[in-house]
Chains A and B, each alone.
Chain A
Amino acid sequence: MTRADVPAPGRIAVVAFAQTDHRSADEGHSEVEMLMPVLHEVLDRTGLKTADIGFTCSGSSDYLAGRAFSFTLALDGVGAWPPISESHVETDGAWALYEAWTKLLTGEADTALVYSYGKSSPGSVRDVLTRQLDPYYVAPLWPDAVALAALQTQALIDAGETDEPALAAIAARNRAAATANSHAQLRGSVPQGQYVVRPLRTGDCPPVGDGAAAVILAAGDRARELCPRPAWIRGIDHRIEAHALGLRDLTDSPSARLAAEHAGAFERPVDTAELHAPFSAQEVVLRKALRLGDDVCVNPSGGALAANPVMAAGLIRIGEAAARIGRGESDRALAHATSGPCLQQNLVAVLEGDPR
């Protein structure tokens, strides 16, 4: 392969996006069987074949479905022959997209396929996620994902930044928006329900489900060839906070703010934001950290409260923001992904369409 021209920063774009219909349990299919139609759809949108793709990167976690090396089996769906240039991250696919973006920046590839998938239905994702915690002081207590988000929520309530009615309104707004998103798992009116871990009610928590998503990136003129209106990644950055919850101010997200600053989010206003806030209260934290006013359209897809296929939900935020730009419904959008307990790690991308 000849070395392509090194693209200028900001001249790498999302040119295609596809996702599954996210459902509570996709029992009839293995992971690769669930993923493959999405890979075909995203390639079809650009007319590219696997052999045309310069770099492939995926995000997933074997712990979700309890299958060792499941990501290597997922590669069967790509068609990795002749041998492809490939990598994998054991986290949300948004970070796989970040790796692919850096690969394109080097000029060694001018297109990249990014995909991620998660089947939460075989296990108990609340408990599975405890295994990512500090193994010395925290994991032996098995604090599940809802419990930790509830601690964050109570801290926000104590700080006077939200209350239960406000949280219910966030949940309702996201799921109302999801009525326009046929891929979403929870759409329309969903009861707030009982406490799961107080102060979080069922309605404040994301649905547990299975799903996959895929994105194609392209650099420079290649992006224009493949897509009528590419979503140019003007900036992208990710930052992480200390793992110890007791060291952090859970009502704020300095990592999200710093990532946004480095991604250039504060240089000009965005019209749209796709936030990866699996729990209602986390949208409160992110709106503040990312300085999103009421004039910004937040989560027109319904966000993670409407569909949260773990490992794919962050990549879907980038895909949804890009698709909105592609449809001419946004000119400048912020996409956010998170990983770890209580928004520990955050990725922010700023996407723009060409002037109309």
Chain B
Amino acid sequence: MPDVLKAPLVLEFPFTRSLGPVQSAFLTGLRERVVLGVRTDDGRTLVPPVEYDPVTAAELRDLVEVAPTGTVTTWAWNHRPRPGQPLGTPFAWVLVRLDGADTALLHALDAPGPDTVRTGLRVRIRWAEERTGAITDIACFEPYDGPAAEPTGHSGTFADPVTGIVTPARLDYTYTPGRAQSAHLQALAERRTVGERCPSCRKVYVPPRGACPTCGVATAEQVEVGPRGTVTTFCIVNIKARNLDIEVPYVYAHIALDGAGLALHGRIGGIPYDQVRMGLRVEPVWTEGARHPDHYRPTGEPDADYDTYKELL
């Protein structure tokens, strides 16, 4: 087995989400340092508020202000905060039932240590300095030994409500391509293209993924293919891709490397775009330091006979 290849892989998405009327009021309220709940038909006040009753599915719109003070209903001490969490120093995760609410809100509690936290602890909201209409407008909770704060009686209607949020998400991975692709990539580093043959149907897969998708068996026999190949079909690209320094129009083609059981993709260069044709014989062009061919160019051989590649279209 070749050495295991590894590479960092970062997935990052700035999710843009629109808000329903209840979510919008709640998050706008946080921006204005007002905490809103929503009243259910049976008289309970849900904080954080939801758009529909979790029991009856009835539409909920009856907003009611609750206090920024409350009681811890359960907690967990997080001595090693992770990226993205509300506090960078050790803190307690808490569910807090705010005064006036019947349900609890998840957030962080800034406390000196686990010995100072207990279920039943009285806490209050510490507001973030800069607030945008997001759950993070609550910086965290903090211990509080005063009386329950009085709500201001806010109606839940705001002049300029937030209607959406953008929540960035980033996940870090270490990508490992597996046995077959590792061998393929290691051969590419030597400018060789290596596929794998199915022991059952004898087809040679390039690039190999370790299994024959037709037969459902492992491929193992390595087969060097190419370097020359045949254009089986192609298209002409007329729109310039962002961040891609290639002049349009250019040809993007399916290329069946000699000995391969299926075609791979590549750009065709070294020939006017309108002269590329099915059956054109091509060879890879490498650039210094590249991990794969930059493009393919004509070899000057006579075109391949259609019958030699018709099964690879």
Contact = CB atoms under 8 A, between A and B. Distances in A.
Interface of A: 27-33, 36, 39-40, 50, 63, 65-66, 73, 75-81, 121-124, 126-128, 131, 135-144, 147-148, 150-155, 158, 195, 197-200, 242, 244-247, 250
Given A39-B216, A127-B171, 6 more contacts: A32-B211, A66-B173, A76-B212, A128-B171, A155-B74, A198-B76
Given A29-B178, A135-B15, A141-B106, A79 B85 contact: no
Contacts of A40: 217
B46 interface: yes
Contacts of B9: 66, 122
A195 B77 contact: yes
Contacts of B165: 136, 140
A66 B135 contact: no
B26 to A, nearest CB: 8
B155 interface: no
Given A80-B216, A136-B19, A28 B174 contact: no
B105 A246 contact: yes
B179 A28 contact: yes
Contacts of A50: 216
A81 B213 contact: yes
A342 B54 CA distance: 17
B278 interface: no
A344 B4 CA distance: 37
Contacts of B217: 36, 40, 79
A127 B83 contact: yes
- A-B CB proximity, top 7 nearest: A79-B216, A30-B178, A150-B76, A246-B104, A142-B84, A198-B77, A66-B173
Interface string B57-75: 0000000000000000111
B31 to A, nearest CB: 14
B82 A76 contact: no
B106 A143 contact: yes
Contact of A147 (B54, B76, B83, B104): B76
B178 to A, nearest CB: 3
B173 A122 contact: yes
Contacts of A31: 178
Which of A65, A143, A155 has most B Cβ within 10 Å? A143
B212 A79 contact: yes
Given A131-B171, A246-B106, A154 B119 contact: yes
Interface string B94-117: 010100000111111000001000
A144 B78 CA distance: 10
A246 B48 contact: yes
Contacts, number: 186
Given A141-B108, A155-B74, A195-B77, A247 B136 contact: no
Nearest to A77: B211
A55 to B, nearest CB: 16
Interface size class of B (residues with CB under 8 A): 35 or more
A221 B124 CA distance: 65
Contacts of B172: 123-124
B79 A195 contact: yes
B152 interface: no
B210 A139 contact: no
B103 A81 contact: no
A198 B180 contact: no
A27 B179 contact: no
Contact of A33 (B19, B23, B210): B210
B46 A76 contact: no
A75 B210 CA distance: 12
A158 B85 contact: no
Interface string B212-237: 11111110000000000000000000
A139 B167 contact: yes
Q: Kindly name the residue among B27, B108, B217 whose own CB sees the greatest number of chain A CB atoms within 10 A.
A: B217
Contacts of A158: 74, 119
B244 interface: no
B257 interface: no
Nearest to A67: B175
B203 to A, nearest CB: 11
Contacts of A28: 1, 4, 176, 178-179
B66 to A, nearest CB: 13
A140 B209 contact: no
B11 A66 contact: yes
Interface in B2-29: 4, 6, 9, 11, 15, 17, 19, 23, 27
A244 B135 CA distance: 14
Given A81-B214, A150-B93, A135 B176 contact: no
Contact of B218 (A36, A75, A122, A124): A36
A197 B215 contact: no
